[in-house]
Structure 1
Amino acid sequence: MAPVRWAGDRLLLLDQTRLPREELTREFACWEDVAEAIRTLVVRGAPAIGVTAAFGVALAARQSRATTFDSLLADIETAIKGLAATRPTAVNLFWALDRMRSTLLAGRAMSVDAIRSRLLAEAQAILDEDVAANRAMGDHGATLVPSGARILTHCNAGALATAGYGTALGVVRSAHAQGKVALVWVDETRPVMQGSRLTAWECVRDGIPHRLVADVVAASLMGRGQVDLVVTGADRIAANGDTANKIGTYALAVLAHHHHVPFYVAAPFSTIDPTLASGAEIPIEERDPAEVRRVGATVTAPEASPVFNPAFDVTPSELIAAIITERGVFRAPYSFRR
């Protein structure tokens, strides 16, 4: 599965807003449209957002009519600013943009055409590294999965949220390949339903045994002893291990702690933000109230009802049994070294 890929002279994205009804691949030839795709969830998931933004910068270089380094730099800085404004919580976005800027600045002595080629190569390298990191992460995480495991996951942290394979679902994939997975409980993940629309779709495609449940069922499942571990992804991890992920993750961590179920986070090392001491400093995106007032096209609440719709919440590190990365498994007290 390749939700993000480059073909010829343009970026191809699998439109995740259309899943599971149809598989539609959209083409992008300018960075402005890439930014809108990130903003409107055509592509989502922190690692996939970072990869997509990197290609957005490569497109900006191709769009630019600059003939000098300084004019190219000005055009690309405009694109980086626009791409950075799309999703404030996912740190992979800013990490990828900083990496692309560094690549640009390192090429100051090169021709403009050579810089364009170098930026595209760097975006492709970010994509390739993400896939490799996900597979390594999956193998590290699979060591934590007992035989016959019943795993609960939230939102979509699969191939669709990355350049391929997945973070939390990558752990599930690796464990499934080893014959360890009895069942995956898939939270529907209100309000945008990434669990039911995307994670369940991936499980069907890969033949992973799963069962879809409403978000409110998680406590009952744990109370009945039907969950052996919880694995989620992450959009930003602070230096102390506090983790921002899809809204509802914190509640699952509290439930898991109460029921003595290990709660794991799987994320690439690029998701760790060492500049933030704790989760209190992580910016939380608030999205369109209409997402809560409807399910798909069906209106489920009065238009006049005020809505609070944070896209993420922060799970304190003390509720996290371990953080799984491509560099290995980290446990508290967390000390992440680049």
Structure 2
Amino acid sequence: MKLPEFQKYLQQENINLVFLTHPDPNITYFTQMKPSHAFLIIKQKEAEFLVTKLDVKPTIKNIVTNYFTPDWEKKLADPKIKTIGINKEFISVQYQEKLQKIYPQAKFIDISNQLKLLRSQKTSEEIAKISKACKITSDAFNELINAFSSKFQTEQDVAFFLERHMKNKGCEIAFPTIAATSKNGAIPHHVTSNQKLRKGFMVLDFGACYKHYNADMTRMVYLGKSTKEDKEIYNLLLDSQRAAINEVKDQQSFMHLDKIARTTLGKYSKYFIHSLGHGIGVEVHEDPKFKNHKINKNHTFTIEPGIYIKNKFGMRIEDSLVFNGKTKILTTAPKELLSLNI
């Protein structure tokens, strides 16, 4: 993606090379590949991608691709290398020690924050891929609603249907689908099981991954006939999400959106137990982090308020958005509370 921009940063900071190791998501970011095992070595004016012979040797613009050889470490040795950038969040102690043996003269610095900053502002190509992932995700929900019948017996039945639709559209699954029926919904990261579907709210949190870029969406359905109180609580949550989205603008603090959402929830805000959202891209959760960032142009992120009442029910409404001077909601599946018969 932004390889020339990153290399300009290396020149400005006098960093001779950056060494990225599997499974660092920045390898996928720069190469648009997800190999089983690989290293990416980025210098100020060139880059080399090392892969095993078990993987296809790709052709990548501005990056030379080679297979690992028995003497790959010796080939890397260069006494002129004085400063090496590493991503401390992903490099193992083993590989850092190996690099220190190859480059005993070099200073090692952590460039993880610069990588996060680079990836947080998306290119038009990245936004197009995230938009495609979001469309396929939204379509999967619509297909589920149209197909829903008594043949859906368990949480896994629902999750498998959604995942099959996304895979049939040429996508990977961004993360394990959450289908949480009744009181299981009170656990935000419930693990989908063969639990029989029960009357009440059901949380559906899922996303497609299209060409390495992710979508994240949560929708609610009601199994059986909802009560007036059920609808009122749900509509309050929907108002909370809409209020936060309405406050999205350039240089707005994400924590301001968080405050707006919680204020709108009123007495139910104490049951909102997680962040309002997160950045999304090559990783499902990435920068911008809501705790300490402001909205910038070409940020992609989620807005996902929730209410979780232990041993009763949980609900969450989540959309993926892009801010490109204006706010655009990328996940377009309907958000009115739908009642389904079981």
The verdict on a shared fold, with TM-score over 0.5 as the criterion, is no
Q: TM-score range with shorter-chain normalisation?
A: under 0.3
Larger strand percent: 2
For normalisation by structure 1, the TM-score amounts to: 0.26
For normalisation by structure 2, the TM-score amounts to: 0.26
Larger helix percent: 1
